[in-house]
Structure 1
Amino acid sequence: MKKLWIAACYACCLHATAAFRPVGSTTLGQDPQTVNRLNGESFQQDPLVTLNGMLWDAILAIQYSSDLGYQYAVFWTADATNASIRHASVSRRDLRMSSLWETFTLSDYNQSDDDGHDVISLGISQGDGTLHIGFDQHDNDLRYRISKSGVATNPSVIEWTADIFGPTLDYLPGLEFLDKSVYFINITYPRFLNIPSNARPSGSDLLLELRVGRSGLGDDWLYTYTPNRGWNQVGRYLEGVNNNAYINGLDFDSHGLLHTTWTYRDYVNDTGQDVAVEAGPNGPENNHDMDYAFSHDLGTIWLNNWGQQIANTTAEEPVVPISAGITIFSIPKYGGILNQEAQTIDNEGRIHVLNRENTTGVERWYHYWRSTTAAWIRTPLPPSSELYSVNNITGTPTVIGKRGKLVVPPSGPSSGMLFAILPSNAPNSSALSVLASTAAGHFRDWLVLWEVPSGCVAEPLFDRTRLREDGVLSLYLVNGTEVQVADFEF
């Protein structure tokens, strides 16, 4: 399967250039055969993380041991004797020594709900080498595990077994005093994000974001992790008022500012309905608007697009739907905007968002971006008639179709470019295309860079740390039977 997939990659690079080429593919394990996807969802931040890549090691050789440069992955796999039960698997590989993955399974926890929200998200503390996972979350009590210290900072002396993890917890260590029935119930969408060194005034190096509440009635909270000490509560930063915010992501820019964009979904009573997938009666049809805010202090104070303060989590004053200046583009309900698609920040500090609309009568992918002068621009991706895509990729988006990702290449030949990784939304299609545009062309000059006719049945994800530190794009893909990692160079 792996060799055939790689061969297909090369055979179908019809528009590929020397700036982007596949260099290999590896298999993590078998994907559970469930109705709803459990691996590969756009809101997994992240299932694939590198701690200190090879380039980073060379730069910081004095400060860090060469015993680094490992990539880590998480995924669900079916129980060996009962396919209706899944277990979390955790893998690692030494990027300099081998392409082979070491994997263990946390068989002491049974995942049984066939629910597409119940993904696994992975975070790594660079300070104490702990691995953190949030998993199997859809409006239920917190499910969180933390590894022993040093697992990721001294990998060669660590025996890679399930014993490195402690038990499943329903609270965050360091916050045992918080009322679990208030802060750690009805949890969905746990996300981890490494905090850059220029945004660590308190020594924290890992951020956790999660929703408390339910679709249409939820709030978003932030927590920070300090190595060897534990978690601290930043506070509630997005409050729903008969609605909830669905964020496209959280990203730091080069100055340490934290940015987020989101859409709101209004409340509809769906008691007793199947909510395992994103579908009515409280689905994307109730999404509206594209909103934005940023923070200069790890999420305590929040500002709108023009730098005006709109929230203070310490004072229990979160961003609310009527906060001044948060709505960048007004998009009505039934306007086709999807929740939790993609965002990224380029090397010049421009925020880029990928989502979709049907406001012209046809569902199309849209690129929204904030210029260096704080002006926002909205443009649809070009139609297939202008793009020359073998996959007809921009002609396929649907209201609840597979979501894509935006990637900013590292400095070098591809500097100044923006890539869109788009999975086909056509019926029964697993095609995948990579498009590219340039700052010089005002991000309107989209071209197909690379595409394959099959191999992506879920939503593509990527290792943001390896991209930044090694200049290698590692894609986390589900091909229908296996969870794979495909590597590309620019």
Structure 2
Amino acid sequence: MRRYVRCKIKAATRPSLHCLVKTFMASILQACTVLFFCQSISQATAQLIVTPVHDMVLDSNALVMPTSGSFGRILNGTTFQQEALITHGGYQYTAWYHNGSSDEDIFVSRRDLSGTTWETIDTGSGLENGDATASSDSRRWDGHNSISLGISGDGRIHLSFDQHVDELRYLTTDPGFATSASNIWNQAGFKPERDALNVNGAQIPKVTYPRFTNVGDDLVFTYRDRVSQDGDHYIATYNSQTGIWNAPHQFTDGRLGSYTDETDPVGQEPSLARNAYLNGFDIDTQGMMHITWTWREQATNANHDINYAYSDDAGVTWKNNAGVGLGSIISLNSPGIKIVDLNYQQALINQQGQVVDQEGRVHALMRHRRQEPGFEWQPGDATYDTVDAAYHHYYRDPVSGIWNVNRLPVDEPVGSRPKIGVDPNGNLLGIYRSGRNLIVAGAEKTINGFTDWQILYKDETDYEGDPLLDPVRLTEEGILSVFLQERATTSSETIPTGSPLHVLEFNISEHVETTYYLQASHPGGTSILSAELWFDAPTGGTSLADLNGYFPGNIFVVDGLNARTPSTSGTSVFAGTLVLQGTSPQLINHTGTNISISRMVVNSDTLFGQRVDGQQATIGELELNAELLIRQQLDPGGDAAFVFDEISGNGMLKFGLNTQDIDNHWGFDAADTDGDFTGSILLDKGILQFISSDLELPLATLQILNVDANSQISLVSDATFKAFQELNANNLGVVTLSVAPGTYTAADLNTLFGTTSRFTGSGTLTVLIPGDFDGDGDVDGADFLEWQRNDGTPAGLAAWQSNYGAPQLLAASAATVPEPSAILLIVFGTSLLVNRGYKNFTRETHLHETHL
């Protein structure tokens, strides 16, 4: 079963708002003629939200190799694939090995980005070199023989596959085939396989780790020649105008220079050969090529150092980190290429994550031993130990050449080798597998660099292999596409099996979170109050002044003054407290997706509108301090439009005024269970249903006002309860129910409303004396204690003070609490002490595989 765990991480730690943001405290200050203004903006950061959108199964029987295979069982989804997913011309493309009955053919598939339907071709070519059942006795199941996919600007598809120190296997198509019509998209579009880049060209005898990288409309092909600890890299360029590859030329050499590690025993011979294991081969917006890599020496099965070089002439010559020329060949002897010094003991794995962002920053996401004290190497530690390892983000300033590093959180165990991508706003996303779970982490771009990385999402499906992403789709559209295969449920030492292969898609949305510090002046001194606001990224210019008011707590506002769910950037819903404040802010749902808010506070006239389409908005607790108008803008036939668990406050709740909806439900699951809603409810259409107590006002029939309650409904005597009354067959009138304190049955209500209303059922309506918080029919000291425990509002305190002693004061209660005038003095003094102690706080910053 698939489980999704959303991790919502705050970007900063804030001072406690427990006492500062209570509406009770705010009202006390306002009673002292408080003037509010924005003193300073303490912090403005962003929060990335990762929302799953699609889970597309490419193949329910994608190849999983036998347990006797070398270097793992997974071929579909390996860290050295570049790329597994490609966006081109309005389509997304991928390729994988299928587990056939007698073969492991390569399937190539595409989908129109507007949908989720994939068009799949069996190319007829498949796994041979990496298949132990093939004709050659020397073959073995080999996890290195992955597929690399490329698409050039002329619409030609390129595949290089099934190579681990093997001759080139290369498939291509005619130009334009990638975006051809569906009736042309078939196996016939692929040309005969060849062992040379050009038709009748020179054979390439030894290929490992092929990569295709786009340079504008052209394509670069890189690969390793020779073997793992004695390897060279070559590069060739495809011209999309001519359809011809140039001759490959070498750009790294594994035999120049000798290496002695600082951890080598005294007298050990130096290593004389090595291979550069590339993290990636990326092109920036200026056409410059960038590579980062680690060296693996011939003398030991371990990696060392992180290195960097770039080329500004299409790979003909290279430069080091300082911009000094290195010539055409990079080697261990090349000066200025090492950017991180890591010896054999640092558990450095190779072939990890790399990307270049829109501003030319080079990013490498690397797994190695933690570098802080307490994680030093100990005798007996494995070469690629993960217990003391973590993921580290290295990034280069394109102007100064300075490299910075941030460690990713260690909340989840270190797992597979990571990949990294960048979204349209320059924010970074990292993906990796922790155990059997997919992890998505993120770091937001800031003026000074990047925020601390946070784990944003965890998918607890049973996965295997290395998750790979579509860099173009993420950078251009802000959508994270992940290629990842499930762990097979069966296994054999000699026979391959299959498992589902997925493309997962996530929306990446960004909320700019700003903490404002407000100064409140009053006769008794100065109070500092704190509030949070969230804005959707497209409206980053929205300021506190735009909301016209004082903010007593957590305020989440997206898309300007209109809080929209889903927002324009995703399908996220609200969680936590939503405070609607100022001049008519709005909460609008545009798509019919459910809204879920644990607590909503309304402190100003507010329009809360929704298009329902059969869905609903669920509000855990509504604190209504002003008028709240709820409309269903479209779809008159919607059902269960709004559900409230509890309502408090003294405002007016109005449903459906001046709208076309006539039969919608406005639901209360356990509304007003404490009897602390002292406001009024006004409906003109629809059904108001107290779900837990079966109270219905079926006004859509225009005939019956029905009460069938199994528990009492309470109002206070100075509140109004407005509902429609039947005047005749065609007309309704609004009647205000205003009655003295007491308890009323359905018959009593019929008498009060007149003969044209019909209340039925066994429920009761209890009208309380204002200030009678314990509901015992009088206002005494016990009610003040109840106010302290469950109400705490200035309005409630005023009601208790005004009606203290009604209908009679109990002497026992009077002796236990002070008089109302003394209470106010205590409350005001407490507010000064609490505010004086306020301080502002800031947040503390804070695979055992081997490759051949």
TM normalised by structure 2 equals 0.46
Going from structure 1 to structure 2, the CA distance change for 1:121 and 1:108 (only over 3 Å counts) comes to closer
Shift of 1:158: 5.0
Shift of 1:377: 1.9
- 1:233 is aligned, of 241, 247, 265, to 247
CA contact (8 A) 1:219 1:244 kept: yes
1:323 aligns with 2:334: yes
- 1:378 is aligned, of 400, 405, 411, to 405
Q: How does 1:35-434 map to 2 (within 5 A)?
A: 35=67, 36-52=73-89, 69-79=90-100, 81-82=101-102, 85-96=103-114, 98-111=115-128, 112=131, 113-127=140-154, 129-153=155-179, 155-156=180-181, 159-173=184-198, 176=201, 178=202, 180=203, 184-196=204-216, 205-227=218-240, 228-233=242-247, 235-241=249-255, 242-268=273-299, 283=301, 286-312=302-328, 318-358=329-369, 360-361=375-376, 362-372=388-398, 373-384=400-411, 393=412, 396-397=413-414, 401-410=415-424, 415-424=425-434, 429-434=435-440
How far apart are the structure 2 equivalents of 1:42 and 1:293? 21
CA contact (8 A) 1:151 1:158 kept: no
1:443 aligns with 2:457: no
Shift of 1:37: 1.1
How far apart are the structure 1 equivalents of 2:291 and 2:117? 35
How far apart are the structure 2 equivalents of 1:461 and 1:50? 14
CA contact (8 A) 1:350 1:369 kept: yes
User: Which segment is superposed worse, 188-197 or 228-237?
Assistant: 228-237
How far apart are the structure 2 equivalents of 1:367 and 1:175? 44
Q: Deviations over 1:21-59 (max 9, x none)?
A: 11111111122231321110111001111112xxxxxxx
How far apart are the structure 2 equivalents of 1:464 and 1:356? 20
Q: Which amino acid aligns with 1:25?
A: D
CA contact (8 A) 2:423 2:476 kept: no
Q: What secondary structure, in the 3-state scheme, does the structure 1 residue paired with 2:431 have?
A: strand
CA contact (8 A) 1:174 1:231 kept: no
Going from structure 1 to structure 2, the CA distance change for 1:326 and 1:18 (only over 3 Å counts) comes to closer
CA contact (8 A) 2:48 2:456 kept: no
Q: Which residue of 1 is the match for residue 836 of structure 2?
A: none
Shift of 1:15: 1.9
1:468 aligns with 2:475: yes
Going from structure 1 to structure 2, the CA distance change for 1:296 and 1:234 (only over 3 Å counts) comes to farther
How far apart are the structure 1 equivalents of 2:79 and 2:360? 23
Q: Which amino acid aligns with 1:42?
A: T
CA contact (8 A) 1:351 1:369 kept: yes
CA contact (8 A) 2:86 2:150 kept: yes
Q: What secondary structure, in the 3-state scheme, does the structure 2 residue paired with 1:458 have?
A: strand
TM normalised by structure 1 equals 0.79
Q: What secondary structure, in the 3-state scheme, does the structure 2 residue paired with 1:152 have?
A: helix
How far apart are the structure 1 equivalents of 2:7 and 2:50? 12
User: Which segment is superposed worse, 349-358 or 433-442?
Assistant: 433-442
- Give structure 2 stretches of 5+ with no counterpart: 10-46, 68-72, 132-139, 256-272, 377-387, 488-498, 509-852
CA contact (8 A) 1:174 1:229 kept: no
Q: Which amino acid aligns with 2:230?
A: L
Larger Rg: 2
CA contact (8 A) 2:64 2:75 kept: no
How far apart are the structure 2 equivalents of 1:465 and 1:449? 21
How far apart are the structure 1 equivalents of 2:326 and 2:397? 21
Going from structure 1 to structure 2, the CA distance change for 1:303 and 1:287 (only over 3 Å counts) comes to same
Shift of 1:160: 2.2
Shift of 1:234: 5.0
Q: What secondary structure, in the 3-state scheme, does the structure 2 residue paired with 1:114 have?
A: coil
Q: Which amino acid aligns with 2:421?
A: V
CA contact (8 A) 1:287 1:339 kept: yes
How far apart are the structure 1 equivalents of 2:233 and 2:433? 28
How far apart are the structure 2 equivalents of 1:345 and 1:298? 16
Q: How many residues align structurally?
A: 408
How far apart are the structure 2 equivalents of 1:240 and 1:307? 22
How far apart are the structure 2 equivalents of 1:130 and 1:382? 41
How far apart are the structure 1 equivalents of 2:171 and 2:410? 45
CA contact (8 A) 1:175 1:231 kept: no
Q: Which residue of 1 is the match for residue 826 of structure 2?
A: none
How far apart are the structure 2 equivalents of 1:122 and 1:435? 26
Q: Over aligned residues, Cα RMSD in angstroms? A: 2.0
Q: Which residue of 1 is the match for residue 7 of structure 2?
A: 14
Q: What secondary structure, in the 3-state scheme, does the structure 2 residue paired with 1:190 have?
A: strand
Going from structure 1 to structure 2, the CA distance change for 1:416 and 1:206 (only over 3 Å counts) comes to closer
Going from structure 1 to structure 2, the CA distance change for 1:22 and 1:260 (only over 3 Å counts) comes to same
Q: Deviations over 1:268-296 (max 9, x none)?
A: 5xxxxxxxxxxxxx64xx21110000011
CA contact (8 A) 2:8 2:49 kept: no
How far apart are the structure 2 equivalents of 1:351 and 1:303? 14
Q: What secondary structure, in the 3-state scheme, does the structure 2 residue paired with 1:465 have?
A: helix
Going from structure 1 to structure 2, the CA distance change for 1:33 and 1:110 (only over 3 Å counts) comes to closer
How far apart are the structure 1 equivalents of 2:354 and 2:442? 15
How far apart are the structure 1 equivalents of 2:298 and 2:336? 23
Q: Which amino acid aligns with 2:280?
A: G
Going from structure 1 to structure 2, the CA distance change for 1:377 and 1:14 (only over 3 Å counts) comes to closer
- 1:483 is aligned, of 501, 512, 515, to 501
CA contact (8 A) 1:131 1:147 kept: yes
Q: What secondary structure, in the 3-state scheme, does the structure 1 residue paired with 2:63 have?
A: coil
How far apart are the structure 1 equivalents of 2:166 and 2:123? 20
Q: Which amino acid aligns with 1:459?
A: D
Shift of 1:447: 1.5
Q: Deviations over 1:209-236 (max 9, x none)?
A: 1001110011011111112431113511
Q: What secondary structure, in the 3-state scheme, does the structure 1 residue paired with 2:247 have?
A: strand
CA contact (8 A) 1:456 1:477 kept: yes
Shift of 1:195: 0.8
Shift of 1:483: 1.0
- Give structure 1 stretches of 5+ with no counterpart: 53-68, 198-204, 269-281, 313-317, 385-392
Shift of 1:382: 3.4
Q: What secondary structure, in the 3-state scheme, does the structure 2 residue paired with 1:307 have?
A: coil
